[in-house]
Copies of this chain bind each other. A is one copy, B any other.
Amino acid sequence: MSAPLQATIAALREALGDDRVRVGDEIGERSMTDWTRHAPARAAALLVPRSTQEVSRALAICHEAHQPVVPQGGMTGLAGGAIASATDIALSLEKLAGIEEIDTASATMTVLAGTTLQAAQEAAEAAGFELALDLGARGSCQIGGNLATNAGGNRVIQSGTAREQVLGIEAVLANGAVLSSMNKMIKNNTGYDLKQLFIGSEGTLGVITRAVLRLHPPRASRHTALVAVDGYDAAVALLRKLSARFGNDIGAFEIMWPDFFDFGVSLTPSARSPFEAEHPLYALIEHAGFDASDTGERFATFLADAFDANAVRDAIVAQSVSDARALWRIRECTAEFPARLDPVNFDVSLPIGSIGRFVDECRAALDARWPSNRTYYFGHIGDSNLHVTVDGHSVPRVSHHDVYAFVYDLIVPYHGSVSAEHGIGLLKREFLPLSRSPEEIAAMTAIKRALDPHGILNPGKLI
């Protein structure tokens, strides 16, 4: 370890106390990489501050020393954005956890950044509300990381991404300045909306320490159906009709192309499709409304009318919670991907109307390039989000990187995005220019420089 780095760590011990600074074996495996398992490394030191003031003091010291700092949440990221190298200092928010307040009149929650998403969800529920952010990593991921990466997840079609849940943020800038914009109001037009800068900036502009989140009333009824349609355009037409009829009571609209659907079905207990026939495209749809007495009849009638009008080829309406679970199991086969495939996962977004054409084109291009490829297409198309998973086993001797580069190139003509929700982090940095123009990257760089002139915050990530 270099002498300046040693001196910085000594200064941090002095300022924060020894129990806030971990080194060597005191840094557990969990802090060494994220869910990608990419390049595990032990940071030079791991800071575990217990207050905003401690975060501020730590950053001021690192700023002075031009010392790189990598903010860390629950380490559940999928883009390597929180991985620290041996010359970085990692800063974990895990000890800055807890719900400070639930304001039932404002329908807001004030929460510390290190609180797990699940703890925040449970606190909201106990107060009679719902935190409209949910993702698979809920038990480990932290609110600070959710906001820093603008997490998406399961409820975007209904309630938007993490960004839409935020009313206020407190963040510590690179130089240690505490920027407290803990606004609770829905409307506030007093200058730049600074919180937006930190949401989705992956820890490169500041360390989020607290937030005010919006709460929603809980959905009181939930009805699920699996529908077969003629193709992608029919799926979009159905989505627009559902939306016109039920507004944002449509809680899921998950599209599965046949390869994906058949794979999902093959992993269910019966291994049999719930439909008699095969179909060009499948949609798993959820209606989630506020009327506890809703029997699902209006939703079922809508689908019956759609069937009569040939807008859907077939529809299975869940009659019970266990029916609904069985339908969801097909979609949730993705949980089996790591065990059964060598997954090369794409998390792209495209204009909704173009996704069908893109899938056709992507499939044809992959088949031409690597005829043996097995690829699965599925997506939250109401959110303009498509997932593509290429099974690396089906294209032996081809690096994941080459598959990424090949598919991302196909996105460009569609003005699509190389990351709908996972972010850029370390792993997609070289592909950022495929989605953002030189002028946009120059503007991001100018903002980065303005707020972090020594470039200490998460260097080498995102930009």
Identify the A interface with B (CB < 8 A). 103-108, 128, 149-150, 152, 156, 160-161, 163-164, 173, 177-194, 196-197, 199-201, 205, 217-218, 220, 236, 240, 243-249, 289-291, 298, 349-354, 380, 382-385, 415-424, 428, 432, 435-437, 439-444, 446-447, 449-451, 462-463
**In the complex the two chains form, is B424's CB within 8 Å of A191's CB?**
yes
Q: How far is the CB of A304 from chain B (nearest CB, A)?
A: 16
**CB contact between A197 and one of B160, B192, B200 (< 8 Å): that residue:** B192
**In the complex the two chains form, is B420's CB within 8 Å of A188's CB?**
yes
Q: How far is the CB of A197 from chain B (nearest CB, A)?
A: 7
**CB contact between A192 and one of B107, B164, B249, B444 (< 8 Å): that residue:** B444
**In the complex the two chains form, is B191's CB within 8 Å of A349's CB?**
no
**In the complex the two chains form, is A290's CB within 8 Å of B192's CB?**
no
**In the complex the two chains form, is B193's CB within 8 Å of A417's CB?**
no
* Oligomer: number of copies: 2
**In the complex the two chains form, is A439's CB within 8 Å of B180's CB?**
yes
**In the complex the two chains form, is B450's CB within 8 Å of A449's CB?**
yes
Q: How far does the alpha carbon of A462 sit from the alpha carbon of B193 in the complex, in Å?
A: 12
**CB contact between A103 and one of B179, B351, B417 (< 8 Å): that residue:** B351
Q: How far does the alpha carbon of A302 sit from the alpha carbon of B345 in the complex, in Å?
A: 48
**Contact of A424 with B351 at beta-carbon distance under 8 Å, contacts A164-B164, A439-B177, A440-B181 already known:** no
**In the complex the two chains form, is A248's CB within 8 Å of B245's CB?**
no
Q: How far does the alpha carbon of A382 sit from the alpha carbon of B49 in the complex, in Å?
A: 37
Residue on B nearest A233 in the bound complex, by CB: B105
**In the complex the two chains form, is A436's CB within 8 Å of B189's CB?**
no
Q: Could you say which residues of chain B place their CB within 8 Å of the CB of A246?
A: 290
Q: Could you say which residues of chain B place their CB within 8 Å of the CB of A444?
A: 191-192, 194
**In the complex the two chains form, is B105's CB within 8 Å of A443's CB?**
no
Residue on B nearest A423 in the bound complex, by CB: B189
**CB contact between A420 and one of B189, B240, B417 (< 8 Å): that residue:** B189
